């Protein structure tokens, strides 16, 4: 069948509504906008403090098996009145309340007080229930009967999802995700983290479905007296917890069990639940041992559930952790080492929350780092505890610290501790600061205070705040007890002083190290680092520092001194010819700059023998030098010259750091006359290590880090048109197609993507048909990205057509449709050109907008602009903007033109001129 027939034979264009956008709270952060730093918040959004909840009896009924989106509910909220009041205020978001009854509660039972008036404030989402007279301090219960609407695949509140079975039949399910403020959209409640209570839940649902929740089922299913096709599942009374941690799901999923742990998933991926179940057992055991607090002391079971079309996030509900399928399901025959790493580390992240967030929750969202910062640390650390051979902590610097630096170097960034009131403000706190920056700071102190002391402090913290809320001071108190008298703190300062210097202010420090080569003295100063400017700043961070030298390369000895002033003089006897490197293994969350001579000594040492410097510091040096140069604090030739040592580098972390640098210059120079010189530079760096890689096979001896390295090197080799790389990947793809056997998943990303560069329609169609047949979302993502790598514009335009197609042939998830678009423009200039031609077709653009939304179009235009580097490409962009007219926002069009102007102006900037001169030396 011809290529276009494969794609277009069943293409029926249809109009659909824009998919609601939602913020992925766990595991898949979107880019964060610039924020205006205003600490003042509107206190009207907080609940009154005169009442507190103690228990909920919650009953819900859903007919989701019939794709019925309305659900019914009744909740009995038991609460205490602390001060005389005539009003109890709870949260309600768009629930239809049709009956409210108030009761007083005594040891003898409940006494009805009548049906009070009630009203919901749409702005604050406060449901005020007002009694006819004042309620004296004591115990009460309010019963609320209500209806609600399941939300549509948006990962918020009580929402609907669906999947297609092996016969093509679609099945529907409903599940919950309440963090941070969505419990109120499923039932009226005290929806603030400190207001913990116990829950007794029951759900009425189809007898052909099952219900699962935080707690185990309580007894047998109860037949519904009104409709024999329904049953009610009752659950045991829960542990005391915050409303955002209540969770439940109703589905026809299959269940895999091991002891007190289970995994739920749609039946046609049951085989992919074996690994996550075992990983769950291993990781929960490791965390229980590490924390000294056994998980089952508070919760009797642990369930993991894979929700279709949930994206790549997850949610740590106590006893019922929910995941998007790509980060839970694992099939070793089609999923790569990267998918395996994601599954392990995200399970570790969510399971760490069982202690950090569930056992002890923040009093309010301003301390969200008490949840997410710790979970980020143990995402890696607990994964390595459970699976030491993976060495996942080797990725900490390049995946967490260096990612945090990028966001935290902006002037407008917020501190770790930051208040919020409205639901949108609270949602905005789930950002890189909450995850990577907070994790980096906490891990710095874990190492500086020593892990045994850190664990001792955490146990004290857990014991003092179990089943309660906490603020930062509660954590500090536990750590203070653990480190007092051990010489681990700067003189005259306590844990609170030290840690508040990081948690209550934005940004991170730059240490500037200058040496007196005659005396051996070292002068160290600190200031806040900004990516684009230098501003005076009086703040002093308490910085734990250490250093290694050529004569004493003690990188594995992690003892610390403290810089608790703006500057200090260190008296040493270090020889003048010795290099010195601060921040051993980059455990500290700060950048370091040196005087010119020390940079030269470091570069010489790397070029002579890279192994004399710790692998994490090699990655640190590349990342620091590059970013210091970008901030005009260091000559750009320093990082570019430093990176020439990579010809001898055989470890992944330095190459990961370097890959970011190379990507920056690749994007700047592609399509210009200087680009061939840059390609020569990259070729010289990668050729030695590339010659040692088995691009088209996987050796049994390869470790996870070996595989990370191979993918990075082979990607760069193929990206710069290394003829051997393109030949090997093309041949591997042709062999796979001829045998109709996929390549090994650990090399599939490179082989499929770059194999398409030199192959024809047969290979492209084969990959597309594999995409249609695959039921594994992680594999589907790899295949979508690979298809976007084609260099044939006609193939790519046909692929783009599938993103807006409807019918069984184009059964893509909504997130996959937008991924198709991004895969095409991200892979190469051929993809950008194909997208421009596709969007320039006036017969298709309305359907594109209708199916994918205006935001997808605006985003596509912005990405085309960012990849516009010469006059010819600018003419293409201008022609597209003219064709699109008002279908693209005026702001997007204006920003696109500004982006291109900045791209062109870069060559007249100091950075551009220096880069051009440096790469010019690589003409041959």
Does residue 10 have a pLDDT over 70?
no
How far apart CA 884 and CA 832 sit, in angstroms, is 16
Query: In the 8-state DSSP scheme, what is residue 413?
Result: P
| Listed residue (324, 367, 588) closest to 475, CA to CA | 367
Rounded to whole angstroms, how far apart are CA atoms 752 and 537?
Answer: 50
Q: How high is the pLDDT of residue 642?
A: 98
User: For residues 548 and 298, what is the distance between their CA atoms, to the nearest angstrom?
Assistant: 45
C-alpha pair distances (Å), 353 with each of 69, 98, 184, 465: 31, 37, 22, 15
Residue 676 — pLDDT band, cuts 50, 70, 90? very high
Element holding 902 (H helix, E strand): helix 890-905
Q: Residues annotated as binding site for Zn(2+)?
A: 349, 353, 372
Query: Rounded to an integer, what distance in angstroms lies between the CA atom of residue 430 and that of residue 349?
Result: 15
Asked whether the predicted pLDDT for residue 17 surpasses 60, the reply is no
DSSP letter (8 states) at residue 397: I
What lies within 8 Å, CB to CB, of 412 at 6+ separation is 34, 35, 36, 37
HSE-up of residue 904 (Cα within 13 Å, Cβ side): 13
- For 106-118, the pLDDT digits (tens) are 988 999 999 999 9
CB 848 within 8 A of CB 839: yes
Q: What pLDDT does residue 254 have?
A: 98
Six-digit token string for 707: 């595989």
Residue 9 has pLDDT above 50, yes or no: no
Instruction: Say if strands 547-549 and 580-582 run parallel, antiparallel, or are unpaired.
Output: antiparallel
For residues 838-854, give the mean pLDDT.
Answer: 93
Angle 750-754-758 (CA atoms, 0-180°, nearest 5)?
Answer: 150
Distances in whole angstroms, Cα of residue 920 to Cα of each of 331, 629, 667, 911: 47, 19, 17, 14
- The answer, yes or no, to whether residue 25 has pLDDT greater than 70, is no
Could you tell me the two tokens for 129? Answer: 């229930």
d(CA 770, CA 790): 16
Give the whole-angstrom CA distance, residue 170 versus residue 260: 31
* Residue 18 confidence (pLDDT) above 50: no
pLDDT in tens, 698-713: 999 999 999 999 999 9
Report residue 810's pLDDT band, with 50, 70 and 90 as the boundaries: confident
pLDDT band at 814 (very low <50, low <70, confident <90, very high): confident
Answer whether residue 235 shows pLDDT above 80. Answer: yes
Q: pLDDT at position 41, please?
A: 83
pLDDT at 309: 83
Q: Which residues contact 625 (CB under 8 A, 6 or more apart)?
A: 599, 634, 638, 639, 642
**DSSP letters along 124-165, please?**
TTEEEEEEEEEEPSEEEEEEEEEEEE-EESSSSEEEEEEEE-
The pTM score is 0.94
pLDDT level of residue 29 (50, 70, 90 thresholds): very low
Contacts of 74 (CB under 8 A, 6+ apart): 58, 59, 143, 144, 145, 146
pLDDT of residue 38: 53
Average pLDDT over residues 183-190: 98
Name the token pair of 525.
Answer: 């100063």
Query: Residue 182: its pLDDT value, please?
Result: 98
pLDDT at 837 over 50: yes
User: What distance in Å separates the CA atoms of residue 721 and residue 727, rounded to the nearest whole number?
Assistant: 10
* C-alpha count within 13 angstroms, C-beta hemisphere, residue 728: 19
Spatial separation of the C-alpha atoms in residues 377 and 601, rounded to whole Å: 34
pLDDT at 417: 97
Predicted local distance difference test score (pLDDT) of residue 6:
41
Instruction: Please enumerate, by residue number, every residue annotated as part of a binding site.
Output: 349, 353, 372
Average pLDDT over residues 833-839: 96
Instruction: Give dist(CA 408, CA 401) in Å, integer.
Output: 10
How confident is the model over 273-319, as pLDDT tens digits? 999 999 999 999 999 999 999 999 999 999 999 999 888 899 999 99
Is pLDDT at 11 greater than 70 in this prediction?
A: no
Q: Are 449 and 457 in contact (CB under 8 A)?
A: yes
Tell me what pLDDT residue 15 has: 27
Q: Is the pLDDT of residue 883 over 80?
A: yes
Q: Indicate the pLDDT class of residue 682, thresholds 50, 70 and 90.
A: very high
Closest among 886, 820, 827 to 856, alpha carbons compared: 820
Report the Cα 856 to chain-centroid distance in Å.
Answer: 21
Cβ proximity of 456 and 475 under 8 Å = no
Which residues belong to the active site?
350
Average predicted confidence (pLDDT) for the chain: 93
Give the per-residue pLDDT at 37: 53
Q: What is the mean pLDDT of residues 196-216?
A: 98
pLDDT tens digits, one per residue of 594-621? 999 999 999 999 999 999 999 999 999 9
Buried b / exposed e over 880-910, threshold 16 CB at 10 Å, is bbeebeebbeeebbebbbebbeebbebbeee
b/e per residue 19-36 (b: at least 16 CB within 10 A): beebbbbbbbbeebeeee
Which residue stretches of 484-552 are H helix? 495-503
Q: Note the residue count of the chain.
A: 924
Q: Please list, in sequence order, all residues whose beta carbon lies within 8 angstroms of the beta carbon of residue 817, skipping any fewer than 6 positions away.
A: 803, 804, 851, 852
Q: Please, are residues 423 and 388 in contact by the beta-carbon 8 Å criterion?
A: no
Q: For 493-536, write each residue's pLDDT tens digit.
A: 999 999 999 999 999 999 999 999 999 999 999 999 999 888 88
14 pLDDT band, cuts 50/70/90, is very low
Give the whole-angstrom CA distance, residue 850 versus residue 184. Answer: 31
Q: Determine the pLDDT at residue 813.
A: 87
**pLDDT value at 96 more than 50:** yes
- How far apart CA 658 and CA 664 sit, in angstroms, is 10
Q: For 808-833, what is the mean pLDDT?
A: 90
Task: Compute the half-sphere exposure of residue 558: CA atoms within 13 Å on the CB side of its CA.
Answer: 17
Tens digit of pLDDT for each residue in 744-771?
999 999 999 999 998 899 999 999 999 9
**CA 465, 467, 473: angle at the middle one, nearest 5?**
25
Element containing residue 78 per DSSP (H, E):
strand 70-81
Which is it for the CA torsion 13, 876, 870, 903, positive or negative?
A: negative
Quick one: pLDDT at residue 39? 63
* pLDDT surpasses 80 at 809: no
Whether residue 788 has pLDDT greater than 60 = yes
Q: What is the pLDDT of residue 923?
A: 85
The residue among 127, 238, 247 whose CA lies nearest residue 179 is 247
User: In which band, very low, low, confident or very high, does the pLDDT at 338 lie, cut at 50, 70 and 90?
Assistant: very high
Q: Is 772 helix (H, G, I), strand (E, B) or coil?
A: helix
pLDDT tens digits, 390-428: 999 999 999 999 999 999 999 999 999 999 999 999 999
Cα-trace Rg, the chain = 29
Cα–Cα distance, 26 to 276 (Å, whole number): 18
């Amino acid at each position: 069948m011809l290529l276009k027939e494969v794609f277009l034979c069943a293409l029926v264009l249809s109009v659909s509504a824009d998919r609601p956008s939602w913020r992925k709270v766990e595991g898949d952060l979107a880019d964060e906008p610039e924020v205006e730093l205003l600490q003042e918040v509107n206190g009207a959004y907080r609940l009154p403090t005169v009442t507190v909840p103690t228990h909920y009896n919650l009953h819900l009924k859903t007919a989701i098996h019939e794709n019925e989106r309305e659900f019914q509910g009744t909740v009995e909220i038991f609460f205490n009145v602390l001060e005389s009041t005539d009003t109890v205020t709870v949260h309600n978001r768009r629930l239809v309340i049709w009956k409210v009854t108030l009761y007083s509660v005594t040891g003898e039972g409940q006494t009805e007080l009548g049906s009070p008036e009630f009203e919901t404030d749409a702005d604050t989402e406060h449901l005020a229930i007002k009694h006819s007279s004042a309620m004296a301090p004591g115990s009460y219960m309010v019963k609320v009967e209500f209806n609600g609407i399941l939300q549509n695949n948006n990962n918020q509140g009580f929402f609907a999802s669906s999947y297609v079975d092996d016969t093509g039949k679609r099945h529907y399910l409903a599940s919950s995700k309440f963090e941070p403020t969505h419990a109120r959209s499923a039932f009226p409640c005290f929806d603030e983290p400190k207001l913990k209570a116990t829950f007794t839940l029951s759900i009425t649902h189809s007898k052909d479905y099952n219900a699962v929740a935080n707690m185990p089922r309580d007894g047998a299913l109860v037949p519904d007296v009104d409709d024999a096709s329904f049953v009610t599942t009752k659950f045991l009374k829960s542990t005391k917890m915050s409303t955002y941690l209540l969770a439940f799901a109703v589905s026809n999923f299959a269940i895999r069990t091991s002891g007190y742990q289970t995994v739920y998933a749609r039946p046609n991926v049951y085989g992919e639940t074996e690994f996550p179940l075992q990983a769950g057992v291993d990781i929960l055991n490791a965390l229980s041992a590490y924390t000294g607090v056994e998980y089952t002391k508070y919760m009797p079971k642990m369930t993991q559930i894979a929700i279709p079309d949930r994206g790549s996030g997850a949610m740590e509900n106590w006893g019922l952790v929910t995941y998007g399928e790509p980060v839970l399901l694992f099939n070793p025959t089609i999923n790569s080492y990267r998918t395996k790493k994601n599954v392990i580390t995200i399970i570790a992240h969510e399971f760490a929350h069982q202690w950090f967030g569930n056992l002890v929750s923040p009093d309010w969202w301003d301390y969200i780092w008490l949840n997410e910062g710790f979970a980020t640390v143990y995402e890696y650390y607990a994964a390595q505890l459970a699976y030491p051979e993976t060495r996942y902590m080797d990725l900490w610097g390049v995946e967490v610290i260096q990612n945090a630096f990028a966001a935290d170097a902006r002037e407008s960034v917020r501190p770790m501790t930051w208040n919020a009131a409205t639901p949108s403000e609270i949602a905005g706190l789930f950002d890189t600061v909450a995850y990577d920056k907070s994790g980096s700071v906490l891990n710095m102190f874990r190492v500086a205070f020593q892990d045994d002391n850190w664990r001792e402090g955490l146990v004290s913290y857990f014991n003092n705040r179990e089943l309660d809320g906490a603020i930062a001071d509660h954590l500090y108190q536990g750590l203070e007890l653990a480190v007092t008298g051990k010489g681990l703190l700067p003189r005259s300062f306590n844990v609170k002083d030290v840690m508040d210097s990081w948690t209550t202010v934005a940004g991170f420090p730059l240490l500037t190290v200058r040496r007196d080569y005659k005396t051996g003295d070292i002068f160290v100063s600190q200031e806040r680092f900004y990516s684009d400017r230098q501003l005076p700043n009086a703040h002093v961070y308490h910085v734990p520092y250490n250093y290694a030298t050529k004569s004493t390369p003690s990188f594995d000895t992690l003892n610390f001194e403290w810089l608790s002033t703006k500057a200090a003089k260190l008296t040493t006897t270090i020889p003048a010819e010795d290099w010195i490197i601060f921040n051993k293994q980059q455990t500290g969350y700060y950048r370091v700059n040196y005087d010119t001579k020390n940079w030269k000594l470091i570069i010489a040492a790397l070029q002579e023998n890279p192994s004399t410097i710790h692998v994490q510091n090699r990655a640190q040096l590349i990342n620091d030098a590059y970013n210091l140069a970008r901030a005009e604090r260091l000559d750009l030739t320093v990082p570019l010259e430093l990176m020439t040592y990579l010809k001898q580098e055989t470890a992944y972390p330095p190459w990961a750091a370097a890959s970011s640098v190379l990507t920056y210059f690749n994007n700047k120079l592609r399509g210009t006359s200087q680009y061939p010189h840059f390609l020569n530079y990259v070729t010289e760096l990668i050729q030695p290590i590339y010659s040692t890689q088995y691009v088209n096979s996987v050796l049994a001896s390869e470790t996870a880090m070996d595989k990370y390295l191979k993918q990075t090197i082979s990607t760069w080799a193929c990206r710069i048109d290394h003829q051997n790389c393109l030949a090997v990947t093309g041949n591997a793809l042709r062999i796979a197609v001829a045998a109709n056997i996929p390549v090994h998943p650990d090399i599939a990303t490179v082989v499929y993507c770059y194999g398409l560069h030199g192959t024809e329609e047969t290979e492209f169609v084969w990959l597309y048909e594999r995409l249609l047949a695959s039921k594994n979302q992680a594999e589907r993502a790899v295949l979508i990205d690979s298809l976007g790598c084609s260099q044939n514009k006609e193939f790519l335009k046909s692929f783009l057509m599938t993103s807006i197609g409807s019918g069984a042939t184009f059964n893509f998830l909504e997130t996959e449709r937008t991924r198709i678009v991004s895969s095409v423009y991200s892979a190469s200039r051929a993809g950008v050109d194909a997208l421009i031609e596709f969007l320039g077709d006036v017969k298709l653009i309305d359907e594109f907008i209708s199916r994918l939304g205006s935001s997808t179009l605006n985003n596509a235009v912005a990405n085309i602009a960012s990849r516009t580097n010469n006059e010819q490409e600018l003419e293409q962009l201008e022609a597209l903007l003219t064709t699109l007219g008002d279908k693209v926002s005026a702001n997007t069009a204006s920003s696109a033109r500004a982006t291109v102007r900045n791209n062109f102006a870069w060559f007249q900037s100091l950075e551009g001129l220096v880069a051009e001169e440096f790469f010019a030396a690589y003409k041959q």
